[in-house]
Amino acid sequence: MNIPNKLTISRMLMVPVFLAVILMDVPHRFLFAIITFAVAAITDALDGKIARKTNQITVFGKLADPVADKMMTTAALLAFMQLGLCDIWIVLIVLTREFAVTSIRLVASAQGTVIPANIWGKLKTVSQMTFTLLIMLIMELDYLKILPDTAPLALISNILLAITALLTVISGVIYVVESSKIIDFSK
């Protein structure tokens, strides 16, 4: 197994660690969650960069890398929902898109085609990861009593996550349209 694929698998293994850290009721849990999530996000940037630079792009990497991203961002959304920082409708929108895109990838794979993530999917993932880190930073600042007691944390979080949900829908629609030109949905 090559280094990019090992990085992808390591990101998958960080998901339960991240979820445990953010949901534990301990001081500075958001700081520790930021560190865990940031390390995972760095592996996301590195695995693709290394794979392209060293010509180690594999079918496994093309399929597993987006799954690892989905695992991280879904874990964050579920944690935020548990903490009252994310509306259930945002989770539904994001997961519906992810299941739809994954289903299309499976159909394509069955037809001998691998459809890698496009620029819109990457933008969606970057926005999800960036806003996730920002929300956790806001929560850590709130824990440190740096923010006013009246700061509408849930509202701020939901606005940021609604933006990612919108990008999720846009990227999903583009993915469906582009994939319909490549694969045969009648089979």
**What pLDDT, in 10s, does the model give residues 122-172?**
888 889 999 999 999 999 999 999 999 898 999 999 999 999 999 999 999
Whole-number Å distance between alpha carbons of 75 and 173: 23
CATH of domain 3-180: 1.20.120.1760
Q: pLDDT confidence of 32, banded at 50, 70, 90? A: very high
pLDDT at 107: 87
Whole-number Å distance between alpha carbons of 112 and 135: 40
Residue of 81, 106, 83, 108 lying closest to 184 (CA atoms): 108
CB neighbours (10 Å) of residue 129? 21
CB contact set of 118 (below 8 Å; sequence gap of 6+): 171, 174, 175, 178
- Boundaries of every domain in the chain: 3-180
Is residue 57 predicted with pLDDT exceeding 90?
A: no
Is residue 116 predicted with pLDDT exceeding 80?
A: no
Q: Give the predicted TM-score (pTM) of the model.
A: 0.90
pLDDT at 79: 98
